[in-house]
Amino acid sequence: MSSNHRVLINTEKCIGCGACVSDCVSSCISIENGKAKAGGEGCIACGHFEAVCPEAAVVLTGFEEESEGFNAQTRLNPQELMKAIRTRRSIRNFDTKDIDREIVDMIIEAGRLAPTGSNAQNTGFIVLDKSKQELERNAVKLFRSLTGIAKPFSKFLSRVEIDDNFFFKKAPLVIVLTGNSVNASLAAENMALMAEANGLGVLFSGFFTVCANNVPKIRKTLALKRGEKAITTLVIGYPNVKYYRTARREKANIRKV
């Protein structure tokens, strides 16, 4: 646990129920003399002890936000969720209409709240702002030069046209996620779902992510630190395309062992 955080136990409020002990992943909390006691190395500051305490007796300090109480966890309707998943499409044709600041914040918030291995919370969100056009121009330049070389080897590249909007498709919002691949991907999917819940469409731009990691000029504009990796790029905007039916998919590759 980072030194910014401390576990505070209010022994007046603690009823010694042990819910925090049962829910602690790293055995960093115990019951002594009928009261919770924090201690030991290895706490990952996941905050479960705070979330699970019925008496609000345990607090993890050092965050800008407060813990919010709630009575019942909100569950999405499974049929509605499946329908949303089934009818989602990658969007490659966007309206240029801007996205309200509150919606952008909500999308990033959905990413921030995604689970991270060992509670690392190590996903970075780079929102392309003034440099968006310049970044796309540089990426387009590179791809045009590369496709010349790669065309004889790739059927896809021999057909694809690298137009000026090849990467961002005129979408108003582009966010590059950095960090650990699993963590950033989970954040990205949360963000995509939140964007779609707000009527937006999303494209994961693998092509731009390749540029972000490999073109020094682009790395520099993105202010990527040495060793810092772009994991994925979310291109987000209001769709300028309508789908009428689902796209067929292969059967799930399921193995029972």
Binding segment for ligand FMN among 100-108, 113-121, 144-152, 202-210 (CB under 6 A)? 202-210
What span, in angstroms and rounded, lies between the C-alpha atoms of 174 and 232? 11
**What is the rounded CA–CA span in Å between residue 32 and residue 38?**
10
- DSSP one-letter code for 11: T
Smallest CA-to-CA distance from 245 within 133, 118, 83 is with: 83
What's the rounded Cα separation, in Å, for the pair 124 and 130?
A: 18
Q: Between 10 and 93, whose beta carbon lies closer to ligand FMN? A: 93
Q: How far is the CB of 248 from ligand FMN (least distance, A)?
A: 10
Shortest approach of ligand FMN to residue 229 CB, angstroms?
14
* Local structure of residue 109 (DSSP, 8 states): H
- Nearer of residues 49 and 167 to ligand FMN, judged by Cβ: 167
Specify the 3-state DSSP secondary structure of 4. Answer: coil
Q: Which is nearer to ligand FMN, 53 or 196 (CB)?
A: 196
Interaction mask 76-95, ligand FMN, x per CB under 6 A? -------------xx-x---
170 belongs to the binding site for ligand FMN (CB under 6 A): no
What are the two backbone dihedrals, phi and then psi, of residue 204, each rounded to the nearest 5 degrees?
-85, 115
One residue of 16, 50, 204, 215 binding ligand FMN per CB under 6 A: 204
Q: Provide φ and ψ at 235, rounded to 5°.
A: -105, 120
Residue nearest to ligand FMN (CB): 206
Q: Does 206 bind ligand FMN (CB under 6 A)?
A: yes
Using CB under 6 A, list all residues that contact ligand FMN.
89-90, 92, 203-207, 232, 247
